[in-house]
Amino acid sequence: MDRSESERASLAMSFIVKLWQEEIEEETDRMIWRGHITHVPTGDRRYFSALAEIAAFIAPYLAEAGV
């Protein structure tokens, strides 16, 4: 059974993710990655330094949509 177009549209979610590199950590000689994610419909934004934080930001929106 296919969902109607309006049901699919109500489940559509848009996020913008931006990543950038910062200075090298002296102890580990690794580049530090930072970023932010924005929920497009609401403009809510969270800055992060770990990729797992992206999933944590998106999870409540998915739960609200029943996914």
Domain regions of the chain by residue span: 5-64
**57/45 Cα distance (integer angstroms):** 9
- Tell me the average pLDDT across 32-36: 91
pLDDT of residue 18: 97
Q: pLDDT tens for residues 50-64?
A: 889 999 999 999 998
pLDDT of residue 1: 41
Query: 34 pLDDT exceeds 60?
Result: yes
| Average of per-residue pLDDT values in the chain | 83
Query: 10 pLDDT exceeds 60?
Result: no
pTM (two decimals): 0.71
What is the distance in angstroms between the CA of the first residue and the CA of the last residue of the chain? Answer: 17
